[in-house]
Structure formats: C-alpha cells, structure tokens
C-alpha cells in the first residue's frame, strides 16, 4: 500500500481540509480554525445540543475494522447533529468474512453516494490508502490508525488544553504510558507542537521507550515524578494490559499503579491548577486512581464533550471544502 507520509494530500490546492488523516504538517491557522469551529458547537450540560444543517444530503459511513464504542458513538452523533445520513458498518461480520478487498468495499459504498468515510483500522496506512483512491468529492476521516494517528483525538486534546490555558508556548505537558504504541500520544504531540508547545515530556516503563525520531521536540524519561513536576497538563494513557504488563515486568495492577500510575500524590507534583487528562476508556486504579480520575483537576469528561464538537467541526470543514 502507498502511504501518505506528509499531510499534503489531505488539503485542497487552496489549503483547505479535504481529508483528515493526520495532524502532522497541518499549520497553526488550520488547527486554530478547527478549534474555533468546535468551540462554537459547545453547549452547557443539559442544554439542547448544537445542530447544523451543513451535512444535509450528505452520507457518512462509519467503517470500524476495530471495535469501538466511544469514538464510533461520537462520530455518529456528530454526523447526525450535522444533519447527515449515517451508515454504520460492522465490517468484521460481513464483507471481510467474504474476502472482499477493503478498496472494493469503499468503491461499493462510494457508488451508493457515500460522501464521507470514517475509518478505524489496526493497520498503518489504511486511511491514507483509501484517501488516495476515492473520488475527488469524497472525504476520509481517520478515526484511529494502528499506533500511528488519531487526529480527532489530538484535536480534542488540544482544545481541552486550550480551554485551560491558551498560551500553548508556555505550557509544560507530560504524557505517561505506553508511548511507543499510542496513537493518542502521537497525535497529541503533533497537535501540541503545531500550537507552539516546547516543553513536552514523555514517560514510559522500561521496554516501552518510544522511537524518539517519531517524537521530535519532546523529552523522554523513565522518571515519572520528575516529569510531572511543574507540569500544566498531565495525561495518562490507557494501559493495554496484555502487552505492557508482561514486557515491563509490572505484572499486577498494583505494581503498575505504584510505578507509573497517576495518583493524587503525583498530581500534587504538577502545578496547583494543572489539569489531568485521559483518552478513555480508563483502567481505574491501574494507570490512574479513581481519586484523580474523579477529582477536581480531571477534565476527562470535558475531553469527551470536546471530542464530539471537534468531530462536528471537522465534518463542517471538509464539507465546505468539498462543496467549493
């Protein structure tokens, strides 16, 4: 498969967003405009959700080749609140059984006038590969790609941080967990660097050190306490239990929590008003204690709310560019 290695192909010649495959290479104006759009879709809890007719007569297909509740639900609600028709395809149980190639599935849906494909896949390069093959008016949104990229997650993380402190250049951000296998970390770091953050600290257990070539402009350490010290933002990643525990020797939940978990004690090392983030779903009392997850500094639910707004914003942006 061809893999889009830069972001060039996801923009129109006029520089507008046509696909969203990666944050890598987007400029600050593009990202800031998406965050502004998303902000306009936010509503207080209990209020009616924001609605927008921008995707009237547009068909969005959710193709999740990996199971997902939250991201699929978020994209589905985003599309419906933008007035799109939504088609959910659980691809595991149908075409792939029949051995059809992924491109033939896409071409088939495209021939049914599907306009937007939301793709989650465990293999690297699939969203870009599809984007390279669809018709010019069709858009592809990456909803999670291997351990490489999860751009709407990156955008919602940046939006959540901006709500805390929009002065990205001044921020210290610490990300803790299996950095090497985390598409969440990749996209968060890309987003932060676009916005100008210079102090990005990565922490992982032994055996999970990331390839630093993939994380330019960051510092790595095994020492979680020193990393958190003075941070404005502390983000815990989800532990993939099967993988991380055996390799790191931190077999039990208690061992992991002791060495790399986000505890109230550790959060106190950060700035007093620091925010605590997690992409979900959480393993409570493994990578984060319930005390921290439910504490006053946690913005974990706000991340979810921002995620829906960001996805509405991305749908609006690509629809505008497609209609030009």
Which residues contact a second copy by CB under 8 A?
43, 45-46, 48-49, 51, 57, 59, 61, 67-70, 72-74, 76-77, 80-81, 85, 87, 89, 91, 93-95, 97-101, 104-105, 107-113, 135-137, 241, 280-284, 301-302, 304-305, 307-308
Q: Which are the contacts of 226, defined by CB distance < 8 A and separation ≥ 6? A: none
**How does DSSP classify residue 45?**
T
- Nearer of residues 249 and 281 to a second copy, judged by Cβ: 281
Provide, rounded to whole angstroms, the least separation between the CB of residue 107 and a second copy: 6
Structural contact between residues 42 and 305, judged by C-beta atoms closer than 8 angstroms: yes
Provide, rounded to whole angstroms, the least separation between the CB of residue 93 and a second copy: 6
Provide, rounded to whole angstroms, the least separation between the CB of residue 171 and a second copy: 23
- Nearer of residues 67 and 272 to a second copy, judged by Cβ: 67
Helical ranges in the chain per DSSP H: 28-40, 70-81, 95-98, 102-111, 126-131, 151-164, 183-195, 224-228, 241-248, 253-260, 264-267, 290-293, 300-323
The side-by-side arrangement of strands in the sheet containing 59-64 is 85-90, 59-64, 116-121, 139-145
- Nearer of residues 27 and 90 to a second copy, judged by Cβ: 90
Distance CA 293, CA 307 (A): 18
- Nearer of residues 202 and 312 to a second copy, judged by Cβ: 312
Provide, rounded to whole angstroms, the least separation between the CB of residue 105 and a second copy: 7
Number of H helices, E strands in the chain: 13, 9
Provide, rounded to whole angstroms, the least separation between the CB of residue 138 and a second copy: 8
Structural contact between residues 248 and 206, judged by C-beta atoms closer than 8 angstroms: yes
- Nearer of residues 154 and 307 to a second copy, judged by Cβ: 307
- Nearer of residues 72 and 266 to a second copy, judged by Cβ: 72
Provide, rounded to whole angstroms, the least separation between the CB of residue 201 and a second copy: 26
Distance CA 237, CA 150 (A): 13
Pairing between strand 172-176 and 199-203?
A: parallel
Q: Which are the contacts of 165, defined by CB distance < 8 A and separation ≥ 6? A: 171, 232
């Amino acid at each position: 498969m061809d893999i889009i290695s830069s972001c060039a192909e996801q923009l129109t010649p006029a520089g507008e967003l046509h696909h969203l495959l990666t944050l890598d290479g987007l400029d600050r104006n593009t990202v800031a405009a998406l965050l502004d759009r998303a902000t306009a879709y936010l509503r207080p809890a209990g209020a009616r959700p924001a609605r927008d007719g921008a995707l009237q007569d547009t068909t969005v297909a959710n193709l999740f080749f990996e199971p997902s509740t939250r991201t699929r639900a978020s994209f589905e609600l985003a599309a419906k609140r933008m007035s799109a028709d939504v088609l959910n395809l659980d691809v595991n149980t149908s075409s792939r059984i029949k051995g059809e190639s992924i491109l033939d599935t896409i071409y088939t849906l495209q021939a049914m006038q599907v306009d937007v494909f939301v793709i989650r896949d465990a293999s690297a390069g699939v969203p870009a590969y599809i984007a390279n093959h669809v018709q010019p008016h069709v858009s592809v949104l990456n909803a999670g790609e291997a351990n490489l990229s999860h751009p709407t997650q990156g955008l919602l993380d940046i939006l959540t941080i901006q709500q805390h402190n929009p002065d990205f250049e001044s921020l210290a951000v610490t990300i803790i967990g299996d950095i090497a296998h985390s598409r969440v970390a990749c996209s968060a770091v890309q987003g932060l660097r676009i916005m100008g953050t210079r102090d990005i600290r990565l922490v992982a257990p032994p055996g999970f050190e990331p390839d630093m070539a993939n994380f330019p402009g960051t510092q790595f350490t095994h020492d979680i306490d020193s990393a958190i010290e003075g941070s404005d933002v502390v983000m815990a990643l989800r532990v993939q239990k099967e993988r991380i525990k055996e390799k790191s020797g931190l077999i039990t939940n208690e061992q992991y929590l002791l060495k790399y978990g986000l505890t109230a004690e550790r959060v106190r090392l950060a700035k007093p008003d620091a925010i605590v983030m997690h992409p979900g779903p959480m393993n409570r009392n493994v990578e984060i204690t319930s005390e921290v997850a439910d504490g006053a500094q946690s913005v974990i639910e706000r991340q979810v709310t921002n995620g829906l707004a960001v996805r509405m914003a991305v749908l609006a942006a690509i629809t505008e560019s497609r209609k030009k």
